Amino acid sequence: MGEGRTREMPLLETVVDEILDLKRQRNAILLAHHYQEPEIQELADAVGDSLELARRAQSFDGDVIAFCGVWFMAETAKILNPSKTVVVPDAEAGCSLVDACPASQLRAWKRKHPDHVVVSYINTSAEVKAESDIICTSRNAVKVVESIPADRPILFVPDVNLGRYVKEQTGRSNITLWHGTCIVHATFAGRRLAAAKAQHPDALVAAHPECPPEVLRMADFIGSTSAIIEWVLAQPAREFIIMTESGVEHTLKRRAPDKRYYFVPNEQCNCSECPYMKRNTLEKLRDALLRLEPRVELAPELIERARIPLERMLALR
Ligand code: 13P
Ligand code: SF4
Query: Is the residue at 314 inside a domain?
Result: no
Q: Are both 259 and 203 inside the same structural domain?
A: yes
Residue with CA nearest ligand 1 atom 3:
224
Query: Is the residue at 116 inside a domain?
Result: yes
Give 292-314 pLDDT, tens digit per residue.
Answer: 999 999 999 999 999 999 999 99
Q: Residue 277 above 80 pLDDT?
A: yes
Query: Could you give phi then psi for residue 131, rounded to 5 degrees?
Result: -90, 0
Q: Are both 234 and 281 inside the same structural domain?
A: no
246 lines ligand 1 (CB under 6 A): no
Ligand 2 centroid to residue 96 C-alpha, Å: 6
Residue 283 φ/ψ region, left for φ over 0, alpha for ψ in the -120 to 50 degree band, beta for the rest: alpha
Q: What is the pLDDT of residue 7?
A: 52
Mean pLDDT of 81-85: 98
Ligand that comes closest to the CA of residue 159: 2
Final residue before a domain boundary, out of 127, 152, 183: 183
Q: Are both 67 and 11 inside the same structural domain?
A: yes
d(CA 217, CA 137): 20
Q: Are both 174 and 245 inside the same structural domain?
A: no
Ligand 1 centroid to residue 269 C-alpha, Å: 19
Q: Are both 57 and 101 inside the same structural domain?
A: no
Q: Are both 31 and 46 inside the same structural domain?
A: yes
Mean pLDDT of 164-185: 98
User: Which atom of ligand 1 has the smallest separation from the CA of 224?
Assistant: 3
Q: Residue 248 above 80 pLDDT?
A: yes
Q: What is the pLDDT of residue 317?
A: 77
Query: Is the residue at 16 inside a domain?
Result: yes
Q: Residue 280 above 80 pLDDT?
A: yes
Give 193-241 pLDDT, tens digit per residue.
Answer: 999 999 999 999 999 999 999 999 999 999 999 999 999 999 999 999 9
Query: Could you give phi then psi for residue 18, rounded to 5 degrees?
Result: -65, -40
Q: Are both 170 and 189 inside the same structural domain?
A: no
31 lines ligand 2 (CB under 6 A): no
Counting ligand 1 atoms within 8 A of each CB, the residue from 36, 137, 185 with the most, and so the one to mutate, is 137
Per 3-state DSSP, what percentage of the chain is helix, strand, and coil (rounded to 5)?
50, 15, 35
Q: What is the pLDDT of residue 4?
A: 41
Q: Which of 206, 245, 231, 265 is nearest to 70 (CA)?
A: 245
36 lines ligand 1 (CB under 6 A): no
Query: Is the residue at 107 inside a domain?
Result: yes
Confidence bin at 2 (pLDDT 50/70/90): very low
Confidence bin at 5 (pLDDT 50/70/90): very low
User: Which atom of ligand 2 has the smallest separation from the CA of 70?
Assistant: 6
Q: Are both 9 and 71 inside the same structural domain?
A: yes
Ligand 2 centroid to residue 182 C-alpha, Å: 5
Query: Is the residue at 220 inside a domain?
Result: yes
Q: Are both 150 and 197 inside the same structural domain?
A: no
Final residue before a domain boundary, out of 164, 183, 202: 183
Q: What is the pLDDT of residue 9?
A: 62
Side chain identity at residue 236, one-letter code = P
Q: What is the pLDDT of residue 202?
A: 98
User: Which atom of ligand 2 has the smallest separation from the CA of 210?
Assistant: 7
Q: Are both 290 and 222 inside the same structural domain?
A: no
Q: What is the CATH number of the domain that holds 42?
A: 3.40.50.10800
Mean pLDDT of 6-10: 58
Query: Is the residue at 311 inside a domain?
Result: no
Confidence bin at 13 (pLDDT 50/70/90): confident
Ligand 1 centroid to residue 187 C-alpha, Å: 15
Q: Are both 174 and 232 inside the same structural domain?
A: no
In whole numbers, what is the pLDDT of the chain averaged over residues?
A: 96
Query: Could you give phi then psi for residue 238, rounded to 5 degrees?
Result: -105, -15
Task: Tally Cβ neighbours within 10 Å of residue 17.
Answer: 11
Rounded to a whole number, what is the distance in angstroms from the first to the last CA of the chain? 50
Mean pLDDT of 96-121: 98
Give 54-68 pLDDT, tens digit per residue.
Answer: 999 999 999 999 999
266 lines ligand 1 (CB under 6 A): no
Q: Residue 114 above 60 pLDDT?
A: yes
d(CA 156, CA 116): 10
Mean pLDDT of 276-289: 98
Determine which helix (DSSP H) or strand (DSSP E) holds 315, and give its type and residue range.
Answer: helix 300-315
Greater confidence (269 vs 120) lies with 120
Determine which helix (DSSP H) or strand (DSSP E) holds 306, and give its type and residue range.
Answer: helix 300-315
Q: How many domains does the chain have?
A: 3
Ligand 2 centroid to residue 4 C-alpha, Å: 33
Q: Residue 116 above 50 pLDDT?
A: yes
Q: Residue 6 above 70 pLDDT?
A: no
Query: Is the residue at 316 inside a domain?
Result: no
Final residue before a domain boundary, out of 154, 183, 212: 183
Q: Residue 12 above 80 pLDDT?
A: no
Query: Is the residue at 310 inside a domain?
Result: no
d(CA 17, CA 60): 23
Q: Residue 184 above 90 pLDDT?
A: yes
Query: Could you give phi then psi for residue 133, rounded to 5 degrees?
Result: -90, -35
Give 39-57 pLDDT, tens digit per residue.
Answer: 999 999 999 999 999 999 9
Ligand that comes closest to the CA of residue 274: 2
Q: Are both 47 and 88 inside the same structural domain?
A: yes
What range does the domain containing 234 cover? 185-263
